[in-house]
Amino acid sequence: MGFRKKNKSPPVLSHEFVIQNHADMVSCLAMIILLGLMFEVTAKFAIMFITVQYNVTQVLDEKSDPVNLYQYGPKDVATVFFYLLIAVILHALIQEYILDKMNRRLHLSKTKHSKFNESGQLAAFYLFSFIWGCSILTAEDFATNPTFLWEGYPHTHMVKFFYICQIAYWLHALPELYFQKVRKEDIPRQLYYICLYVVHITGAYVLNLHRLGLVLLVPHYLVELLFHASRLFYFSDENKQKGFTLWALLFVIARLLTLTLSVLTFGFGLPRTENQGFSLAEGNFNVLTIRQAWMMWKFINFQLKKWREHSQNQASKKKAVSPKSKPQKREPRGGAANGVLKSEDKTSPRARKAKAS
């Protein structure tokens, strides 16, 4: 939307002007940060936005090459901000050159148009993140050694750029609710899952649980990718609904896997590690309170989802039961005659005498 040319230009700095040109504005801001690399005075500040900070070089074996791992710190806020700008630009490019062209061919209604754009953007992100996450897990050999979820905790060294991009993407989704003119009815639903992603991913990032977070994100992204891809096919042809059946099956499997790995890590693995205690300097949060809080949060989140699904089902049932139009009241038999009698009763005595004569 930000790259689209309009015949009528709205007033400068008006809401419509910002919505139409937001990607151009964000591109200019990102270019200013990149131009800062060209000057020695500003280079040390610009590089804080562009490159990942807190590098730690680790040598695993004498034969293998050194591996660059990272820790987190306050400078990561600047890095997240820069890649948030990049996410806004990519969002506008996908919308302008892919989704808008498909929408013109399909001739969707306003409601389906909004959901089609949402599924198109999320499907692209889920596909990219799923492939990236699988490549990281393959290098970690998680399939042959699941104990790496808790061994050696706290895991202060991580593949950091993945988490930076994840946090930046879900934070960029908040202003996109305004830029994309999302309907008021859809804002609470989208705001709900955006905040859940931000809280979960940031929590795994800060608490040094990035291994568990990555393992849980990959199957979840696969299930969400299948759902939004199925919805895209459904909008193109309503007869294509087989994808939803497969999604329903994988959704249950993914939730069981999430619950199993969470209980295994917090109930079995972390309580038996050597590093027990709370230390901000070491990044160690392996205490009973935090473990129970995480499991309680999972339970509350699960109950909120069940309550939300139940309320939606009840609302749909009420709509199905309620009649489309109110039934008209039937006029009682003899209504016309009763009306004539009443009108005759209301006539004056003079009129009665005239009728009798």
pLDDT digit string (tens) for 113-152?
A: 889 999 999 999 999 999 999 998 887 767 677 788 888 7
Q: Average pLDDT over the chain, rounded to whole?
A: 80
pLDDT value, residue 164: 95
pLDDT value, residue 330: 46
Q: How confident is the model at residue 16 (pLDDT cuts 50, 70, 90)?
A: confident
Please state the rounded mean pLDDT for residues 330-345: 44
Report the candidate in 229, 228, 4, 175 with the shortest Cα–Cα distance to residue 96. Answer: 4
Q: Residue 59 pLDDT > 80, yes or no?
A: no
User: How far, in Å, CA of 125 to CA of 169, rounded?
Assistant: 9
Contact 52, 69 (CB under 8 A): no
pLDDT value, residue 129: 96
Across 67-81, 112-126, 239-253, the highest mean pLDDT is recorded for: 112-126
pLDDT value, residue 110: 81
Across 9-13, 94-98, 262-266, the highest mean pLDDT is recorded for: 94-98
In degrees rounded to 5, what are phi and psi of residue 4? -80, 140
Of residues 324 and 296, the one with the higher pLDDT is 296
Of residues 306 and 8, the one with the higher pLDDT is 8
Residue 129, class by beta-carbon neighbours within 10 Å (0-12 exposed, 13-18 middle, 19+ buried)?
buried
pLDDT value, residue 158: 79
Of residues 292 and 120, the one with the higher pLDDT is 120
Query: Is the omega angle on the peptide bond into residue 154 within 30 degrees of 0, that is, cis?
Result: yes
Of residues 142 and 310, the one with the higher pLDDT is 142
pLDDT value, residue 329: 47
pLDDT value, residue 285: 63
pLDDT value, residue 310: 56
pLDDT value, residue 335: 46
Q: Which residues of 10-42 are buried (b: 16+ CB within 10 A; e: fewer)?
A: eeeeeeeeeebbbbeebbeebeebeebbeeeee
Please state the rounded mean pLDDT for residues 236-241: 82
User: How far, in Å, CA of 235 to CA of 300, rounded?
Assistant: 33
Q: Residue 346 pLDDT > 50, yes or no?
A: no
pLDDT value, residue 216: 92
